[in-house]
């Protein structure tokens, strides 16, 4: 035996030295009492009482953790010479650090290792332990899975800082600093999210074969940790998805990271095909909203290689159809076609798209007609790097356009290795049109719906489409949408259009009860017909299993607002913006009713500037509101909306004439939007038109718009306060809001949207 090696430590017989580090020496030893080999880690003796007491406190806590991926500690003790030691399982295998010396690790194996590390961290954090020194050398790979070492014990050493960091001379290989979180470097408070930062860095290194942060000196590495972002992961179809998880885990601000190890593990499970990493059951991960989508995709409008009036509509409609087919998958977040249209061009700026649209992957394409065939060439690119993930050229007869959409959809799913549930696979493969001509009509109508002046044409085309193919559910859903917006903003009979819309949505859901577009679009009709609470509950129910469905949360913005749950409405909007920064919602009106005028003014989603006009009037800036109205009013396609804008401006200047023209036109029409009626009643109250205001409020509250908190404080309504009819309406609104709040809570709204709802108004 080596004369410098002790023969025994405590009751353990020392066999050989296994390694040595800044904290102490590790020996192989034998436990004669239980007749088993163990690892014995000694901690260098310290005369500082505080450090020894802290060691004992944390060592006892660490020894209490029992988990398949945590190396078990058998005993914590102190030898006669004052040496502190830990007796633990003697492991077979190698450290992750040694494995990485041989190069990068394949995606599936890296995800498994990361999942098992997170499983162990989840157990540690549950006991309020933070590892503090998570790095490849502390992750041991055994034939039976990962074992995590040295948890809860590593800390900077006042007596030997260079040994603790693993640096002895400039230019030597760096150790711990590469895996420190910024809060460790700057001396701020740490918690479990500090360990997640290190876990993200290890995952990055496993897949890339290189450390995320590197340098020749400790100071260079620490500077990189605090200030730099690692290059994006590349080279595999899963790289964009994993890179998204790594970037969230390694956010500089702990508040921007995953909240828990379970949340991060859940994001990796999605990428791995929803196969649960060893040691972390699906039940452990819960169903919260913190999970990360596997990839964020933008399908840009396609570019026409030659101008062709007959097929120009496909430049928008074909990629839009692909986006719609993929929307709602839990493994993918798809940007709305309208929110990415501005990024299209002959040479898209990939860095700008990645930054502003917040996406990982972009599909670009070109269209070319060759005789009676259409050729589509697409490229699936990782952004911002521009790495080509897949390219494909498809060709189909002009009469078989769905073939192209279907092929492109499945190519994306395959190229990104999206893990689809059976429900999701059915979603992608469902709704096949029976009539090719009907599908072409459907695509043409979809393009026309982008232009309010052509809604009437779109409505007629949707009718023609369902007449040719009455079992194509998406066409019925879009017919319902067209009829609804025409009923609200058009000149035709509202009652007839509303019946058309209601019947179309019902037919769409009969054909496909899981059609997301039908549920979302129907919600808008529901709220305008006084069924906001039912729409809210239905959408919350779907949100439990559809975390990345942007349109679903857009529907919740309006449904919650009509229920009077303004904080929840704003929270739903925040979900939309996290999923798709460019998506439009109706949140401007939520901010209006919250009296957050400045926030309302920042919302430029409405081309008619109606919300801006209302916010300026409410904020006491009528001259600016009037100037805005003068530049936009003639561009408004709806006669009723033109009357409304002129009427609201008139109310701010005390001019009853134009305002009464507006209310007279509203009464003669079938216009019946409860939210618009509330806004009209405000103007009437301000002008002293008490009877008009009360009639409008009565129709608004009975119609299902119950913003009781706004009714209680809006200064424009002050002339009505004390009037028995107003007080009755306010009481009714409060009662309806209270009932809606009860249903919101019972449906898990707080957990789904991450916000509460204020108490009674």
**Can you give 42-102 as a three-state secondary structure string?**
EECCCCCHHHHHHHHHHHHHHHCCCCCCECCEEEEEECCCCCEEEEEECCCCEEHHHHHCC
Average pLDDT over residues 168-194: 73
Higher pLDDT, 277 or 109: 109
Confidence of residue 237 (pLDDT cuts 50, 70, 90): low
Average pLDDT over residues 274-295: 40
Average pLDDT over residues 407-429: 81
Q: Which long-range contacts (CB under 8 A, 24 or more apart) does 341-344 make?
A: 341/300, 341/301, 341/316, 343/298, 343/300, 344/300, 344/301, 344/303
CATH 1.10.510.10 fits 94-292, yes or no: yes
Task: Look at the domain 555-753 and name its fold.
Answer: 1.25.40
Cis bond upstream, residue 384 (ω within 30): yes
Average pLDDT over residues 108-128: 91
Confidence of residue 480 (pLDDT cuts 50, 70, 90): very high
| Catalytic residue selected from 133, 263, 549, 673 | 133
pLDDT tens for 533-548 read: 999 999 999 988 887 7
Least confident of 267-276, 284-293, 737-746: 284-293
Is the pLDDT confidence value at 357 over 90? Answer: no
Confidence of residue 483 (pLDDT cuts 50, 70, 90): very high
Task: Give the pLDDT score at 54.
Answer: 66
Average pLDDT over residues 76-101: 87
Higher pLDDT, 173 or 541: 541
Average pLDDT over residues 634-646: 70
| Most confident by average pLDDT, 190-199, 547-556, 674-683 | 190-199
Helix (H, G, I), strand (E, B) or coil at 373: strand
pLDDT tens for 677-695 read: 898 899 899 899 999 999 9
Is the pLDDT confidence value at 55 over 60? Answer: yes
Average pLDDT over residues 173-195: 82
| Closest C-alpha among 118, 127, 172 to residue 146 | 118
Average pLDDT over residues 635-640: 65
Is the pLDDT confidence value at 238 over 90? Answer: no
Task: Give the pLDDT score at 182.
Answer: 93
d(CA 395, CA 388): 21
d(CA 472, CA 466): 7
* 138-176 b/e (C-beta count within 10 Å ≥ 16 → b): bbbbeeebbbbbbbbbbeebeeeeeebbbbeeeeeebbb
Name the phi and psi angles at 396, rounded to 5: -150, 155
Q: 333: which residues sit within 8 A by CB, 6+ positions away?
A: 293, 295, 296, 297, 548, 550, 579, 580
* Residue 560 contacts residue 572 (beta carbons within 8 Å): yes
Task: Give the pLDDT score at 247.
Answer: 86
Angle at alpha carbon of residue 134, lines to 132 and 136, rounded to 5°: 160
Confidence of residue 355 (pLDDT cuts 50, 70, 90): confident
* Residue 49 contacts residue 93 (beta carbons within 8 Å): no
Is the pLDDT confidence value at 209 over 70? Answer: yes
Q: 500: which residues sit within 8 A by CB, 6+ positions away?
A: 479, 480, 483
Least confident of 110-114, 217-221, 319-323: 217-221
| Most confident by average pLDDT, 265-279, 578-592, 703-717 | 703-717
Question: End-to-end distance of the chain based on CA atoms, in angstroms?
Answer: 80
| Closest C-alpha among 624, 654, 658, 625 to residue 643 | 658
Task: Give the pLDDT score at 528.
Answer: 87
**Token digits for 357?**
């649209």
Is the pLDDT confidence value at 60 over 80? Answer: no
Higher pLDDT, 547 or 11: 11
Task: Give the pLDDT score at 286.
Answer: 34
Look up residue 12 and give its DSSP letter.
E
pLDDT tens for 588-615 read: 999 999 999 888 888 766 656 777 888 8
d(CA 565, CA 557): 9
d(CA 755, CA 750): 5
655 is catalytic: no
Task: Look at the domain 297-523 and name its fold.
Answer: Rossmann fold (3.40.50)
Confidence of residue 275 (pLDDT cuts 50, 70, 90): very low
d(CA 217, CA 221): 7
For the chain, give the mean pLDDT: 83
d(CA 147, CA 170): 32
Task: Give the pLDDT score at 428.
Answer: 78
Using alpha carbons, list the distances in angstroms from residue 496 to 323, 419, 487, 619: 31, 44, 8, 38
Higher pLDDT, 427 or 733: 733
Least confident of 46-55, 135-144, 571-580: 46-55
Task: Give the pLDDT score at 337.
Answer: 85
Higher pLDDT, 48 or 519: 519
Higher pLDDT, 336 or 328: 336
pLDDT tens for 244-271 read: 889 889 989 898 899 899 999 988 887 7
| Closest C-alpha among 380, 396, 408, 410 to residue 440 | 396
Q: What residue spans define the domains of the chain?
A: 1-90, 94-292, 297-523, 555-753
In CATH, which superfamily holds the domain spanning 1-90?
A: Phosphorylase Kinase; domain 1 (3.30.200.20)
d(CA 203, CA 209): 10
């Amino acid at each position: 035996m080596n004369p410098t090696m002790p023969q025994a430590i405590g009751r353990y017989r020392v066999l050989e030295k296994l390694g040595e580090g800044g904290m102490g020496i590790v020996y192989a030893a034998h436990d004669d009492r239980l007749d088993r080999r163990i690892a014995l880690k000694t901690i260098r003796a310290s005369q500082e009482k505080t450090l020894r007491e802290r060691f004992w406190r944390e060592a006892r806590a660490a020894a209490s953790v029992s988990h398949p991926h945590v190396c078990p500690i058998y005993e914590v003790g102190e030898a006669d010479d004052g040496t502190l030691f830990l007796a633990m399982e003697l492991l077979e295998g190698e450290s992750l650090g040694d494995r990485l010396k041989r190069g990068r690790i394949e995606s599936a194996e890296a995800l498994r290792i990361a999942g098992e590390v997170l499983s162990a961290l989840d157990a540690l954090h549950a006991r309020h332990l933070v590892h503090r020194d998570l790095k490849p050398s502390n992750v041991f790979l055994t034939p039976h899975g990962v074992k995590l070492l040295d948890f809860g014990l590593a800390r900077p050493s006042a007596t030997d800082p260079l040994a603790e960091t693993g640096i002895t001379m400039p230019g030597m290989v760096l150790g711990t600093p590469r895996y420190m979180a910024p809060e460790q470097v700057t001396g701020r408070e740490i918690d479990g999210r500090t360990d997640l930062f290190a876990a993200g860095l290890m995952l990055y290194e496993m897949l890339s074969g290189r450390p995320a942060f590197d340098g020749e000196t400790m100071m260079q590495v620490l500077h990189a940790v605090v200030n730099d972002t690692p290059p994006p992961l590349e080279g595999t179809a899963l790289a964009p998805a994993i890179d998204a998880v790594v970037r969230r885990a390694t956010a500089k601000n702990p508040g921007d990271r995953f909240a828990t190890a379970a949340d991060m593990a859940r994001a990796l499970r999605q990428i791995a095909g929803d196969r649960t990493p060893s040691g972390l059951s699906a039940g452990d991960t819960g169903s919260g909203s913190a999970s990360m989508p596997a990839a964020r995709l933008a399908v840009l409008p396609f570019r026409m290689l030659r101008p062709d009036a007959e097929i120009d509509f496909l430049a928008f409609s074909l990629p839009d159809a692909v986006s719609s087919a993929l929307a709602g998958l839990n493994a993918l977040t798809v940007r709305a076609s309208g929110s990415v249209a501005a990024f299209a061009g002959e040479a898209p700026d990939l860095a700008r798209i990645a930054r502003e649209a917040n996406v990982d992957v972009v599909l670009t394409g070109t269209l070319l007609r060759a005789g009676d065939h259409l050729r589509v060439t697409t490229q699936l690119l990782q952004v911002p790097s521009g790495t080509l993930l897949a390219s494909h050229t498809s060709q189909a007869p002009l009469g078989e356009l769905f073939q192209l959409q279907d092929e492109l959809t499945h190519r994306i799913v395959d190229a990104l290795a999206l893990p689809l549930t059976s429900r999701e696979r059915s979603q992608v493969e469902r709704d096949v049109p029976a009539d090719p001509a009907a599908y072409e009509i459907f695509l043409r109508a979809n393009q026309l719906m982008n232009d309010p002046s052509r809604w009437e044409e779109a409505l007629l085309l949707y009718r023609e489409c369902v007449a040719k193919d009455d079992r194509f559910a998406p066409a019925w859903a879009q017919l319902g949408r067209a009829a609804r917006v025409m009923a609200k903003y058009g000149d035709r009979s509202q009652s007839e259009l509303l019946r058309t819309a209601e019947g179309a949505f019902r037919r769409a859901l009969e054909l496909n009860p899981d059609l997301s577009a039908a549920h979302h679009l129907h919600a808008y009709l529901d709220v305008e017909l006084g069924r906001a609470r039912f729409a809210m509950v239905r959408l919350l129910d779907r949100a439990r299993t559809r975390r990345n469905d942007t349109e679903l949360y857009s529907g919740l913005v309006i449904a919650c607002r009509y229920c009077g749950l303004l904080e929840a409405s704003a929270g739903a909007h925040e979900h939309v913006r996290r999923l798709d920064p460019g998506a439009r919602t109706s949140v401007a009106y939520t901010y209006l009713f919250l009296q957050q005028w400045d926030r309302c003014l920042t919302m430029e989603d409405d081309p008619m500037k109606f919300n801006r006009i209302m916010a300026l009037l409410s904020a006491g800036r009528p001259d600016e509101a009037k100037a805005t109205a003068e530049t936009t009013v003639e561009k408004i396609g709806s006669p009723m909306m033109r009357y409304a804008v002129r009427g609201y401006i008139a109310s701010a200047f005390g001019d009853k004439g134009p305002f009464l023209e507006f209310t007279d036109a509203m009464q003669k029409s079938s216009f019946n939007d409860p939210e618009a009626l509330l806004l009209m009643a405000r103007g009437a109250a301000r002008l002293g038109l008490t009877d008009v205001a009360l009639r409008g409020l009565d129709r608004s509250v009975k119609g299902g718009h119950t913003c009781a908190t706004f009714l209680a404080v809006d200064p424009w309504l002050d002339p009505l306060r004390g009037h028995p009819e107003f007080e009755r309406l306010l009481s009714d609104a409060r009662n309806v809001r209270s009932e809606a709040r009860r249903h919101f809570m019972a449906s898990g709204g707080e957990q789904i949207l991450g916000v509460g709802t204020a108490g009674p108004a």
